[in-house]
Amino acid sequence: MLSLSLSILLVACSRHEPDQRIVLGFSQVGTESAWRKANTASIQSAAATSNIKLLFADADQKQENQIAAIRDFIDQKVDVIAFSPVIATGWDEVLAEAKAAGIPVILTDRGVTADPSLYAGFLGSDFVEEGRKAARWLVGEFEGSDTVNIVQLEGAPGAAPAMDRRRGFEEVIAQHPRFRIVRSEPGGFSREGGKAAMASILASGSPPIHAVFAHNDDMAFGAIEVLDDKGLKPGQAVRIVSVDAVHEAFEAMIAGKLNATVECNPLLGPQLMTSVTEVVAGRPIAKRIVVDEEAVFTAETARQIIQTRKY
């Protein structure tokens, strides 16, 4: 009887062993663009294939939602917290809470201005260089032209990609006196935001526009709609360069509506899971992990490249 009881107990225990997987709490900015959706899918897929339990929270573009999600992850005693910050500021307090709880934090896609000792590392693209690449392409495109009036459609105010892309773009443009940024308006990284910003600029009676730099493809798509409606021939009379290189951007280039897009790779999932595994094992990761070299794609090569795109 004693032997039988022990056997039953062992079987019962084996059926209820605790989940030994790493638990990752991830807070995403939202679903504002095709890029963001591809980023989320990459993280979810990589967690599944890495046997990491993912607790996912969508912040719906609100910092307060993200802070609440991070505190919830702390209460649940997850192994690692990762998040893509809505804006760059206002994180010190909640990051300090995670540190006090002994939970390492990894930033993805976007950086913060908080004390670097409060997070393990930041994985993402070089947004400043993306802005420079867009500007260099534009300067080359208008070689030999007279004054070039540029409209800049910025991302969400306070977001690291918006601030950095603007800085990189304006740094290069400032070296070329023929180029003038006549208007800069925020579009929130969304198609509707880009559409509203472009409509507002045209309604305000801006000088003739020769070029548009959009901080992401979705805002460029919105601007293209407005320019088309006004008969301003996007891609021809008005050259357009944007950032992300999503599949629809290649379609727009093939259609002659978009001239160039700077790649910003959203497929960060595998690199994030590697970093998560490292910090859980007690090994340090680089404070700044930059994704692999990202290219500039143009209308001339879009038709050959579109079949190879993964997002």
Q: Look at residue 33 in the predicted model and tell me its pLDDT.
A: 87
Q: Residues 83, 153, 240, 305: what is their CA dihedral angle, to the nearest 10 degrees?
A: 10
Q: Look at residue 3 in the predicted model and tell me its pLDDT.
A: 45
Q: Look at residue 206 in the predicted model and tell me its pLDDT.
A: 78
pLDDT in tens, 110-151: 999 999 999 999 999 999 999 999 999 999 999 988 999 999
Q: Look at residue 5 in the predicted model and tell me its pLDDT.
A: 41
Q: Look at residue 18 in the predicted model and tell me its pLDDT.
A: 53
Task: Report residues of the chain scoring pLDDT below 50.
Answer: 1-17
Q: Look at residue 19 in the predicted model and tell me its pLDDT.
A: 64
Three-class secondary structure assignment of 51-110: CCEEEEEECCCCHHHHHHHHHHHHHCCCCEEEECCCCCCCCHHHHHHHHHCCCCEEEECC
Strands (E), the chain: 23-28, 53-58, 80-83, 105-108, 121-124, 148-154, 179-186, 211-214, 239-244, 260-263, 288-290, 296-298
Please name the residues in contact with 11: beta carbons below 8 A apart, sequence gap of 6 or more: none
Report yes or no: 246 and 191 within 8 Å, Cβ to Cβ.
no
Q: Which structural domains are found in the chain, ordered by start?
A: 21-124+266-280 (3.40.50.2300), 127-264+297-308 (3.40.50.2300)
